Amino acid sequence: MTAVRPEGGTQPGRGADDWGVYEAAPQQPTPQQPAPQPSAPHRGGAPGGQEAGWQLDDRTMQLRTVPEAAAPAAPAPTAAPEGRAERRRAAASGLGAPGTGRRRAQGRSAPARPRPPEKKRVVLARALGEGFITLGLVMLLFVAYQLWWTNVQADASANAAGDRLEQQWNSAPQPTGSAKPGATLAGQFEPGKGFALLYIPKLGLKYPIAEGTQKQQVLDKGLVGHYTGTAMPADRTGNFAIAAHRTTHGQPFRKIGQLAPGDKIVVETAIAFYTYEVAGGIPETPPTNVTVIQSVPKGSPFTQPGRYITLTTCTPEFSARGRLIVFGKMLEERPRSQGKPAALTG
């Protein structure tokens, strides 16, 4: 029910503006009301002809004030520490902010237990494991250096040597007449210095040829090396024998095992192009078999002196166990003044 403001005067001890709960007021005499006339009974009516309903007492409810002592007292607020120094002292004592109900965890952790010393075999096993990991990383770096970085360096060196040769030939005057057997330019065949270019059209190869087969001075620089003492392309007879790496350091002869009889090999010098045709080969022979670079190479299909070429390289790949040999016979000698041969232009 809704509280109402009492009408009229005030009760003793209370002001005119006091509010409270309902309480019964003294009964006031009421004038006599005439008795209600009986009415005809109706369906669902109460006995005696009167309608059923709530009989409300016409009495006024007065407000009663609740004593102030009955209300619960509110807790007094805790005064927060004043000043920075007081707040720091409160934080150091482990108390949280006022009213949060939390405590700091400072000073509540147990002291750390000392770590027991490790056994010697555990220390030894750990040291061995770290050593093996380091060794594996070093080996991985070495393999990457051998298979990738040496090729990058060798290709750059070989390309530079080839460019120097072509610039030298283009700037030098062309010889007149036919070249004499074994004719060379001064200083052209010094050890480690390039003097010719090798083309293998089927494999798309073009590499400089330098004098000698020293590993560090020639082969590791991505060059094709000429076996010192064997014939030159311009010689009337003999075997022009050359060698190169099959793997790493530019790997010029990596795919010469794909050559078959009839494939062409071209050697370009300062005076002419020399075209050879593959005639056969040896899949594998010992490294000590030097008869394959003789004037008439053994194991080849040749039996008479002629103008031959022999290519040698290591086999199988990534191994120096044996030597792969390819033999060829000269088909054409063409002066540079007449342009490139059909093997390079066809």
Domains recognised in the chain with CATH numbers: 168-174+192-345 (2.40.260.10)
Give the tens place of pLDDT for each residue, 303-333: 999 999 999 999 998 888 999 999 999 999 9
Residue 280 makes CB contacts below 8 A (sequence gap 6+) with: 261, 300, 301, 326, 327
CA separation for the pair 79, 102 (Å, rounded): 17
Asked whether the CA dihedral 238, 244, 250, 251 is positive or negative, the reply is positive
Query: By the 8 A CB rule, do 324 and 246 touch?
Result: yes
d(CA 225, CA 42): 136
Catalytic residue annotation: 245, 314, 323
User: What is the C-alpha to C-alpha distance for residues 270 and 252, in angstroms, rounded to an integer?
Assistant: 22
pTM score, whole prediction = 0.61
pLDDT 10s digits, 83-124: 677 777 766 665 445 555 455 555 555 677 787 888 888 888
pLDDT tens-place string over residues 236-285 = 999 999 999 998 888 899 999 999 999 999 999 999 999 999 999 999 99
